[in-house]
A = this chain, B = another copy of it.
Amino acid sequence: MPLYDLSIAELRAYRGEVVRPDDFDAFWSATLAEARAVPLAARFEPFDAGLKIVEVFDVTFAGFGGHPVKAWLILPRQREGKLPCVVKYIGYGGGRGFPHEHLLWPAAGYAVFVMDTRGQGSSWSKGDTADPVGSDPAHPGFMTRGILSPETYYYRRVFTDAVRAIEAARSHDAVDGARIAVTGGSQGGGISIAASALDGSLKALMPDVPFLCDFPRAVGLTPRDPFPEISRFLAVHRDKVERVFATLAYFDGVNFASTDSTPALYSVAIMDTICPPSTIFAAYNAHAGAEKAIREYGFNDHEGGGAFQDRAQLDWLSGRI
């Protein structure tokens, strides 16, 4: 599918359709407070990944509900002093995989902390973290689990895990807790936007073709999953449209970005059929920070900038943390 969204000029000015709930901040404050009531209990076990010039730890920490969440911490073996750390979240359906799938940041001299996504990790890279919470009737996939209220929605648990992951990364001796960046592609990008806003003290935010932004526009605009999981749910539950979008407003990247002033480097693909470019510009344009940039890839679908964006992130982050 070629160009189907707004024109470039319209995209650069587009503000999104979502409305911020009055109790958005209260909802998330309460959620995080509840999570933090359980000790983080981060464990870092040395892991033989078959590699030589990096050091790998198999991490477990207490996420939402105190549930154990897995991660990798990977450090350059040769290092001096505490390291700046990139916390990385994973795209939809994937898991933390193997440590050797995450060598970019260590090769560039950073620590990387890769959070597993609860319940996922069975569609393209393997995951090791259970989601022990059930759900009301839901469409196959993760997008509609518990979607009838913000309290039960799946991403409440994931975003909370994501904030706790930053705290877990900070808790390791080799990491300089004042120099943390978050990143991720697609769902990982969406999570990074939420985590950055919720943590509030990061040095850099680098969402790559982020998902989970501007739901009111996204749902119905693109035929490619996972946004259409929500359409299909609503095609059955025809009487629950209002409730579903009321829930989603608490998880919309636009609503996180609009109060976040962390320096940010976004990317967007103009032919993206999974995360329509307008939904990404909605978040980017809302982002509250003065120091922000977005890389536009004019002829790419959801693969976005790929290795070009990796390089752009390396350059942009260099010296920043």
**Quick check: A122 and B137 within 8 Å, CB to CB?**
yes
Closest to A95 in B: B137
Given contacts A109-B52, A129-B137, A137-B130, contact A231 B299 (CB under 8 A): yes
Contact of A298 with B by CB under 8 A: yes
**Quick check: B103 and A104 within 8 Å, CB to CB?**
yes
CB distance from A246 to the nearest CB of B (A): 15
Residues of B within 8 A of A103 (CB): 103-104, 107
**Quick check: B120 and A241 within 8 Å, CB to CB?**
no
Residues of B within 8 A of A241 (CB): 298-299
Contact of A259 with B by CB under 8 A: no
Binds B, one of A29-37, A140-148, A163-171, A186-194: A140-148
Residues of B within 8 A of A239 (CB): 308
Residues of B within 8 A of A123 (CB): 139-140, 232, 236
Binds B, one of A15-23, A172-180, A217-225, A281-289: A217-225
Given contacts A100-B107, A138-B119, contact A238 B297 (CB under 8 A): yes
CB distance from A235 to the nearest CB of B (A): 5
Residues of B within 8 A of A243 (CB): none
What secondary structure prevails in chain A residues at the interface with B? loop
Residues of B within 8 A of A220 (CB): 2-3, 271, 298-299
Q: Give the complex CA separation of A135 and B130 in angstroms.
A: 6
Interface residues on A, range: 35 or more
Contact of A234 among B3, B119, B234, B299 (CB under 8 A): B299
CB distance from A230 to the nearest CB of B (A): 8
Residues of B within 8 A of A303 (CB): 235
Residues of B within 8 A of A9 (CB): none
Contact of A128 with B by CB under 8 A: yes
Binds B, one of A39-47, A205-213, A311-319: A311-319
Given contacts A2-B220, A135-B119, A307-B98, contact A236 B124 (CB under 8 A): yes
**Quick check: B134 and A222 within 8 Å, CB to CB?**
no
Contact of A58 with B by CB under 8 A: no
Contact of A63 with B by CB under 8 A: no
Residues of B within 8 A of A120 (CB): 137
Residues of B within 8 A of A232 (CB): 122-123, 299
Contact of A126 with B by CB under 8 A: yes
**Quick check: B122 and A128 within 8 Å, CB to CB?**
no
Return the 10 tightest CB-CB contacts between A and B, nearest first: A52-B109, A132-B134, A234-B299, A50-B314, A140-B141, A103-B103, A127-B137, A121-B137, A122-B139, A140-B140
Known contacts A2-B228, A106-B107, A235-B300, then 17 further A-B pairs from the complex at CB < 8 Å, ordered by chain A residue? A50-B311, A98-B307, A100-B311, A100-B314, A119-B138, A121-B236, A122-B233, A122-B236, A123-B139, A131-B135, A132-B135, A134-B134, A235-B271, A235-B301, A238-B297, A238-B305, A239-B308
